[in-house]
Amino acid sequence: MNVIMDGQLIWMLSGVVGLLVVASVIGFLLGRGITDDGKRAVIDNLNARTRSWWVMCAVFAVAVASGGVGSIILFALMSFLALREFITLTPTNRGDHRTLFWMFFIVIPLHYYLVASHWYGLFSILIPVYVFLFVPLRSALAGDTANFLERTAKIQWGVMVCVYCVSHAPALLMLEIPGYHGNAKLLFFLVLVVQLSDVLQYVFGKTLGRRKIAPTVSPNKTWEGFLGGVTCSSLIGAGLWWATPFTPLQAGGMALAINLMGFSGGLCMSAIKRDRGVKDFGTMIEGHGGIMDRIDSISFAAPVFFHLTRFYFT
């Protein structure tokens, strides 16, 4: 395992630490002298989110800095935990037991092994083709036909979103981009932009939000939050061009694509949560909910960013 001591990566990291320091200070200042219970709850949640951000950033920084293997292990673990939350929330039958065992303990390790070994061809079709066909077969062999199509579709969807889509983030490490080294920075760029966009949409939504985009799906998503968050985060993305193979304009365009996809991911996962009657996918990350609540935007943004980069820059 080679530790990456890339100057640009260190700059990006320092920027993130700076942001967290600012967020922590603001949270502390906002919390002083507030007695109103409703406001108190919002500020407490804000501070819990910031604390969790420190932890998440530290974990991510260590994974990225430890080179390819660290990032791949981290994302494999996130896929595992996300699929666990997803399937917990999705009713499956007794007949799916062994199918699910395969998904958790065979498909996830195998798929991430393909990422680690840079086997792009099989990486891109393992889940959409082979696992897609395997899931109904294994469940059919178990002999339970009740809601067969529905159950199969749920498992396929969970594996596509939690494993296949999410894995396109560490898959960035396998791209060979002429004249560019240190793809870890590209991974950092994706995660930073998509998470900043989430945070900024939250901040703009809480401060200026009036008009709801889809009140039945997600009452917290407003046009003001969306436009403010996406614009700011795309501009920040453009400002990070120096760490990517892109020109400033291209970096801005990529960031915009990432943000729009990230927003879509968040919206679709909210639809699932509303349908199942829950607020969050889990309770693992204080203030945020579950792993799936945190990576919903990455799961939609990663494949699109991966393929845009692969198509235009390799």
Partner 1 sequence: MSGSRLTISRVVSSLTRLTTGATARWTGSEPTATQRVYFANHTSHLDTLVLWSLLPPHVRLLTRPVAAREYWNASGLRRFVANELFNAVLIARPDQAVGEASSQVALASRAFSAMLEAMAGDHSLILFPEGTRGNGTTMRPFKSGLYHLARKKPGLEMIPVYLENLNRILPKGELLPIPLLVSVSFGPPLYLGEEESKNSFLARARHAIEELRV
Which tokens belong to 177? 């981009």
Residue 222's SS3 state is strand
Residue 144's SS3 state is coil
Which 8-state DSSP code applies to residue 131?
Answer: I
Q: Radius of gyration over alpha carbons of the chain, in Å?
A: 20
Q: How far is the CB of 105 from partner 1 (least distance, A)?
A: 8
Identify the residue whose tokens are 């061809």.
121
The single residue among 11, 101, 242, 312 that binds partner 1, judged by CB under 8 A, is 101
The single residue among 92, 152, 259, 309 that binds partner 1, judged by CB under 8 A, is 92
Near partner 1 in 255-284, by CB under 8 A: 282-284
Q: Determine the size of the site formed for partner 1 (CB under 8 A).
A: 15
Q: How far is the CB of 100 from partner 1 (least distance, A)?
A: 5
The single residue among 63, 64, 85, 199 that binds partner 1, judged by CB under 8 A, is 85
Q: CA separation (Å) from 19 to 29, 75, 157, 187, 207?
A: 15, 24, 35, 19, 19
Q: How far is the CB of 137 from partner 1 (least distance, A)?
A: 18
Using CB under 8 A as the binding rule, whether residue 145 contacts partner 1 is answered as no
Q: Number of helices (H) and strands (E), helices first, in the chain?
A: 13, 0
Which tokens belong to 227? 């436009």
Near partner 1 in 204-233, by CB under 8 A: none
Stretch that binds partner 1, among 46-54, 60-68, 80-88, 220-228 (CB under 8 A): 80-88
Identify the residue whose tokens are 């889809």.
214
- Give the distance from CA 78 to its chain's centroid: 9
Using CB under 8 A as the binding rule, whether residue 142 contacts partner 1 is answered as no
Binding site for partner 1 (CB under 8 A): 80, 84-85, 87-88, 92, 94, 97-98, 100-101, 104, 282-284
